């Protein structure tokens, strides 16, 4: 007896010509003229930004929320870092290009930085994807350029210098996107910024002192690894790694839950570590299986993320001098989803991971996701990655203006590369054009939005002063 199987119908993907793709980009100028991106002003009935933050915090750890408020109240730039949902709500009613990419969703200038590639070279790239979601490319660009204007004000840079920073970043994004539009698919996919590429592209624009600053930052990043995490975060007790207690920033799990709850939660998380392995490639799964669970602690990270559940796991390999630290970070719905539609993933941890893999030149070898059931019986989505792996971040407060200008261009280039991997780079490049129209619009947007951000920051300060919300400063 023979049987026949019904063939699976595979949808053929469209492959328009370069000319057709460019025409789509130019046509998008009708729906959203490039100059329109600079025409932002708050509507008379604008939402209450403080209420937006309060609503976002309903699912967070109540005891940690005041730390978030205290960190955001420290300065207008700190507020901006934590208020990705505020900008998303402000962008929602604006004209859209319709040229969609995988958005970072929170592409402010501190969410770029250095980390180790699997090949052990230091790369500069986007490094925060909690809010990643498909959407119009210009939303990420606006998030970036406004952060440059806000940061410039925090440094007391004059108006011209701030405008130059914003224009340089926007111009680099535009020129890089047009450059990528002319490259082969694989060339775009393999494009990356390591130290050699940075020096080759921008070395002639900076002096010897700035170059030494960049190189010193790279050297420092390479020392921020698993061994340093072990020395800084743990001690050895009875032959096993144990986390230091530094509440509320680092709290061992045994100090948070009773014995019964702790045992149940630890077992749940151990189960997560076992099942999360299925999201890794087989070789990396094999590598992970060589490490033994030692300890668990809750860690406070970032500004906008404070209050979400973030755990760190200490594991030992060959011996205690072969540690591995994993960060297990809660993933909630992206702040973009209310405005751009629900995620196509059943697990928000997977949303973060898939977005990161699509946008980054190289991703952490232990990047994966799963779901954890807490002592309250609630199942929450998480993504996992190494805690430190040559991590480098820019110190905007002390960076010289010359270096800051190069950094702004690096961010613009990287954002274009990330968008070129997921969107139609030919259409976007044609939309942006060879002139400075888009760059000038970004300068106007950044200025207008930085003005609004200062008002929103003051609203937060006033809400704290009038006891509408609680805050803990200096933590």
pLDDT digits (tens, 9 = 90+) for 123-138: 899 999 999 999 999 9
Return the pLDDT at 7.
58
**Among 15-19, 105-109, 121-125, whose mean pLDDT is lowest?**
121-125
CA dihedral 139, 142, 147, 152 (to 10 degrees): 180
The reported pLDDT for the residue numbered 29 is: 98
- pLDDT band, residue 388 (cuts 50/70/90): confident
**Are 231 and 380 members of one domain?**
yes
Cis, bond preceding 248 (omega within 30 deg of 0): yes
Q: Are residues 150 and 239 in the same domain?
A: no
11 assigned to some structural domain: no
Residue 318 within a domain = yes
Which has more confidence, 178 or 206?
178
Q: Which residues contact 99 (CB under 8 A, 6 or more apart)?
A: 24, 25, 28, 136, 137, 423, 424, 427, 428, 431
Do both 280 and 142 map to the same domain? no
Kindly state the average pLDDT of the residues 258-268: 86
Q: What is the pTM of this model?
A: 0.94
Q: Which of 334 and 113 is assigned the larger pLDDT?
A: 334
**Residues 113-118, mean pLDDT to the nearest whole number:** 84
375: number of Cβ within 10 Å: 15
**Residue 470 counted as domain residue:** no
Q: Give the single-character DSSP code of 244.
A: P
Q: Is there a single domain that holds both residue 240 and residue 359?
A: yes
pLDDT value of position 325? 96
- Structural domain contains residue 251: yes
Give yes or no for residue 455 having a pLDDT over 70. yes
- Please report which helix (H) or strand (E) contains residue 316, including its range: strand 310-316
Q: Would you say residue 421 has pLDDT above 50?
A: yes
pLDDT at 195: 83
- Give 315's pLDDT tier (boundaries 50, 70, 90): very high
Instruction: Determine the Cα–Cα distance for residues 2 and 197; give it in Å rounded to an integer.
Output: 60
Averaged over 71-83, what is the pLDDT?
A: 97
Residue 19 has pLDDT above 60, yes or no: yes
- The last residue of one of the domains, among 386, 417, 437, is 386
| Whether 328 and 458 share a structural domain | no
Split into its structural domains, the chain has a count of 2
User: Which of the four pLDDT bands, split at 50, 70 and 90, describes residue 454?
Assistant: very high
Q: Are residues 201 and 300 in the same domain?
A: no
127 and 272, same structural domain?
no
Whether pLDDT at 403 is above 60: yes
Residue 268: the pLDDT is 87
Mean pLDDT of the chain, nearest integer: 93
* 153 and 210 both lie in a single domain: yes
What are the phi and psi torsion angles at 469 (to 5°)? -135, 155
Average pLDDT over residues 89-113: 97
What average pLDDT does this structure show over 13-33?
Answer: 96
Q: Are residues 293 and 430 in the same domain?
A: no
Taking residues 467-472, report their average pLDDT.
97
Same domain, 354 and 457: no
Task: Tell me, yes or no, whether 91 and 240 share the same domain.
Answer: no
With 0-12 / 13-18 / 19 or more C-beta atoms within 10 angstroms meaning exposed / middle / buried, residue 408 is: buried
Residue 327 pLDDT greater than 80, yes or no: yes
What value does the mean pLDDT take over residues 48-61?
96
Q: What is the pLDDT of residue 395?
A: 82
Quick one: pLDDT band at residue 1, thresholds 50, 70, 90? very low
Domain range enclosing 179: 18-223+395-465
- Which tens digit of pLDDT belongs to each residue from 207-229? 666 666 767 777 776 677 888 88
In a domain, 2, yes or no: no
pLDDT grade for 6, boundaries at 50, 70 and 90: low
């Amino acid at each position: 007896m023979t049987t026949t199987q019904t063939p699976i119908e595979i949808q053929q993907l469209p492959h328009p010509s370069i000319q057709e793709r460019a025409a789509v980009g130019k046509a998008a100028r009708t729906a959203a003229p490039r100059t329109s991106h600079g025409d932002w002003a708050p509507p008379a009935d604008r939402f209450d930004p403080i209420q937006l933050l309060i609503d976002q915090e309903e699912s967070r750890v109540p005891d940690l929320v005041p730390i978030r408020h205290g960190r955001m109240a420290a300065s207008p730039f700190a507020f901006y870092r934590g208020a990705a949902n505020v900008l998303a709500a402000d962008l929602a009613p604006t004209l859209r290009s319709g040229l969609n990419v995988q958005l970072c969703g929170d592409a402010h200038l501190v969410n770029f930085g250095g980390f180790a590639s699997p090949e052990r070279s230091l790369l500069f790239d986007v490094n925060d994807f909690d809010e990643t979601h498909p959407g119009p490319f210009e939303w990420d660009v606006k998030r970036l350029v406004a952060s440059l204007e806000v940061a410039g004000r925090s440094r007391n840079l004059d108006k011209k210098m701030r405008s130059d920073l914003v224009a340089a970043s926007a111009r680099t994004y535009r020129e890089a996107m047009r450059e990528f539009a002319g490259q082969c698919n694989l060339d775009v996919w393999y494009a990356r910024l390591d130290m050699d590429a940075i020096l080759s592209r921008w070395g002639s624009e900076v002096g010897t002192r700035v170059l030494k600053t960049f190189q010193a930052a790279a050297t420092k990043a390479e020392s921020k690894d698993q061994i340093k995490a072990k020395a800084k975060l743990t001690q050895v007790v009875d032959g096993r790694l144990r986390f230091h207690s530094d509440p509320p920033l680092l709290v061992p799990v045994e100090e948070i839950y009773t014995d019964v709850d702790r045992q149940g939660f630890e077992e749940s998380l151990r189960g997560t570590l076992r099942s999360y392995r299925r999201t890794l490639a087989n070789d990396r799964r094999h590598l992970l299986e060589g490490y033994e669970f030692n300890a668990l602690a809750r860690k406070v990270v970032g500004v906008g993320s404070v209050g979400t559940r973030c755990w760190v796991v200490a594991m030992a390999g060959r011996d205690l001098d072969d540690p591995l630290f994993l960060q297990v970070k809660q993933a909630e719905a992206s702040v973009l989803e209310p405005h751009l539609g629900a995620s196509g993933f059943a697990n928000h941890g997977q949303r973060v991971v898939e977005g990161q893999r699509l946008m980054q030149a190289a991703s952490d070898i232990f990047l994966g996701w799963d779901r954890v059931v807490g002592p309250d019986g609630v199942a929450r989505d998480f993504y996992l990655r190494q805690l430190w792996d040559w991590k480098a971040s820019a110190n905007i407060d002390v960076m010289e203006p010359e270096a800051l200008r190069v950094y702004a261009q690096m961010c613009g280039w990287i954002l274009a590369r990330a968008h070129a991997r997921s969107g139609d780079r030919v259409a976007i490049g044609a939309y942006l054009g060879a002139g400075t129209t888009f760059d000038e619009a970004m300068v106007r947007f950044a200025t207008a939005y930085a003005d609004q951000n200062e008002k929103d920051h003051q609203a937060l300060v006033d809400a704290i002063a009038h006891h509408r919300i609680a805050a803990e400063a200096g933590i």
